[in-house]
Amino acid sequence: MRKEESVFDSDQQAEIEAGRESGVDVSVYAKKEFMAIQMRQIRQGLEEDLDVSVYARTDYDWFQMEEIREGMKTGVDIERYASPDISYDRMRQIRKGLKLGIDLSRFAKLDAKILKQLRKAYVTHVNIVEYVQKGYSAEQLEPIRLALERGIAIPEYLTKEFRGVAIHEICLGLEHGIDTKFYAQIDFSWQQMREIRLGLEKRVDVTEYAKHLYSWQQMREIRLGLEMGLDVSPYRSLMFTATDMRRIRKRLLNELVQGTVEQRKKTVRHREFEIVISSNELEAHLIIKNAGDKEYRYEEIRQALKKEGIVSGIRKEDIQRMLKDKLYQKPILVAKGVPAKRGKDGWYEFFFRTDLKKTPSLLEDGSVDYQSVEWFELVQEGQKIAYYHEAERGEEGFTVTGRMLSAGKGKEKKVLSGRGFLLLDDKKTYVAAHDGKIELEGTRLEVSRVCVVPEITQATGNIEFDGCLYVKGDVGRGTVIHATEDIIVDGAVEASHIFCGGSLLLRRGANGIDEGGFEGSIEAGQNVEGKFFEGVKIKAGKEIHSNYCLNCNLDAGDRIIISGKKGKLAGGTAQAVKEIQAHTIGNRAQIVTKLYLGTTEMMYTEKHELDMKMEEVRKELTILNNAYIKYKKKYKPEVRNSMDIYLRIEAAIYTKEKQKKKLEMKQKRQKAELAQIEGAKAVIHGTLYEGTVIEIAKQRWNATEMKNITVKRSGNRIAVSRN
């Protein structure tokens, strides 16, 4: 150690030594007024060949230094936020905005969480500035922003008295098309709003409990009772606590479902008779004992039953037959009640096909008939698409003791959620809000905009559409298609560029290279399916399906499936994370065909970057904790707790610990994903030809001609097994 460095603590010395090892001018930061964590930011900037003089100042804390350094690395205008008066978290939001071409510096005095909402709003092209100016908090701005992004008419309901969670509840109601006037009131807590909203979604009569004096827990018990078809009048009084309500509700449900009361089977014994009443009071049996030569009359039996409270469902003929035939000493059914019959549940009637499957049918040879795929059904604006039939009231019953059993109403179905439709005033009829394709998944109904065109050629021009695109004819060479959702093409596809956020279906396939050498490409967020592909570059977020691929560059996030006994993958490259499956791979001419499976270079890079970030956070935490301990030892609590630097270190440790936990969660998810693809494989049902190269997680194997095999990685080698 140099003599002049004796004033530095061990962490500062470590940063100075690290700078020397990397060849930077440590004199820039080898000053005792810089903490080790600040030195670290300056050293890293020097190593990245940045002009650290901008932030190598003691009035910047280490987080501010980091934000300025990150901004310099990405080339943004750091002058917009490089000021000691702007906290690091506000710096971060301004920096992230500048990186996207959004200048938030005029809002630099606002809370960082508000800046975050502004940044996200600018990205999605919605305007929340007026709500910022009116003084809405970040917690309120988030649901407002999300509502505006989804096209929900929230502005007319807004008031600053509503918390963010309350605004969220109103948004959910508007999105479901329910009448939010029942609960969009400042006197309701957000939990009370939620209970009323859930009731409206389940189509129950919320006027039974939409009252401010009920706690949300009481509301919940009444709501659950109504959803179950119970008569809630026995327990909806405010005198009952939520716990009392729950107990009564469960008893009523037990009686409704089983027709039972909470008592055991009742047996009444007399000198001559024994009467047994079932636990649910729906049956009564009589046994006559020690009758001898006595003759009993019907009225005598009737009076005995009445004396024990058996007054309904008397089986007169059975009693008279028992007396006539002297069926004594054994139980005879003398009274029978009628259980309550639950009403029919509510149900939806849909006026479109709900059984459409995107899965194409298989032909006799195992190949896929892409012409037969029913991808969607189209509806027109104003078309009736669904009607709700309300639940029906059931039939009442009675017990042998004359107690009436209330008939439970059937359960109502939840209001349909989704977009692209209108719920009419009757709250039962659904109509399409615009032309488009209709899809139902569970209780979510969507009518997505569809652009239908006869064909796309250089004459018609390129096309860009926010929604689903349906091309009835061909797609010509040199054209560019972009859609945010699915694309379906009925005709042939020549060398063109196609991009979609959803899935792509080419019923007749695509030829990616024309005579002029123009190369086509396809990219989809989900799946890509087509009858054949020749000379096409394809990237799919999930799977690629075809019957034939020649000289293509295929890249699938999950699988590549080439179907049928004539299904062939030959030439080019095919990369998939989990599986590549085909009948034939390569050909007799030994065309070079490269298959890549398992972990990709990008995955390795992401893992390395995540590990590096974790290591950096651990080192910074060590430095901060050492400084924290130093201050605790050096100063008394009443002194250090008033020191700004000590409080900053304390806050920084908390922030870094949170960052560490987030990184740990990411690493855990990443580890699970990598473990999932350990079993990556190539499955060949027919012939694998020589000339094919298979690489699985960086282990390479040059194939020899083989039939009906599966190729996997086993340890550090490639293993081949028979199917």
- Following DSSP, what letter does each residue of 287-313 receive, concatenated? EE-S-TTPPP-HHHHHHHHHHTT--SS
Question: b/e string for 461-475 if b means 16 or more Cβ within 10 A?
Answer: eebebebbbbbeebb
Q: Are strands 368-369 and 384-389 parallel, antiparallel or unpaired?
A: unpaired
* Strands (E) located in 332-467: 332-336, 347-350, 361-362, 368-369, 377-379, 384-389, 397-398, 404-405, 417-419, 421-423, 429-432, 436-441, 444-448, 450-453, 463-465
Whether the model pTM is above 0.75: no
Across the chain, which has 723 residues, the per-10-residue mean pLDDT values are: 68 94 95 93 95 94 94 95 95 96 95 96 93 95 93 88 94 87 93 95 92 95 90 92 94 69 58 83 86 79 89 91 84 91 90 79 71 78 94 89 84 87 89 90 87 87 87 91 92 92 92 71 94 93 94 93 92 93 94 89 83 92 91 86 86 91 92 79 94 89 92 86 89
- Using N-to-C axis directions, what is the helix angle for 88-99 and 62-74, rounded to 10°? 10
What does the pLDDT read at residue 405?
A: 85
What residues have CB less than 8 Å from 3, skipping those under 6 apart?
A: none
What are the DSSP calls for 338-349, one per residue?
B--BPPPPPEEE
For position 497, what pLDDT does the model report? 93
Distance CA 448, CA 470 (A): 12
**Based on the number of CB atoms within 10 Å of its own CB, is 291 exposed (0-12), middle (13-18) or buried (19 or more)?**
middle
CA distance 208 to 113: 40
d(CA 167, CA 317): 66
Q: Dihedrals φ, ψ of 488, to 5°?
A: -125, 130
What is the predicted pLDDT for the residue at 646? 87
663 C-beta neighbours (distance < 10 Å), count: 18
Tokens 């992004």 -> residue? 149
CB count in 10 Å sphere of residue 645? 12
Cα-trace Rg, the chain: 37
- Phi, psi torsion values for 172, nearest 5 degrees: -60, -40
Q: Rounded CA gap, 319 and 71, in Å?
A: 96
| CA–CA gap between residue 286 and residue 706 (Å, rounded) | 83
Q: Distance between CA atoms of 2 and 5, rounded to whole angstroms? A: 5
pLDDT at 426: 87
pLDDT at res. 501: 93
The confidence score (pLDDT) of residue 262 equals: 42
DSSP 519: B
Query: Can you tell me the distance from the alpha carbon of 557 to that of 577, in angstroms, rounded to the nearest whole number?
Result: 6
The string of DSSP codes covering 29-96 is T--TTS-HHHHHHHHHHHHTT--GGGT-STTS-HHHHHHHHHHHHHT--GGGT--TTS-HHHHHHHHH
pLDDT on residue 340: 86
Looking at this protein, which amino acid is placed at residue 617? V
Burial of 240 (0-12, 13-18, 19+ CB in 10 A): middle
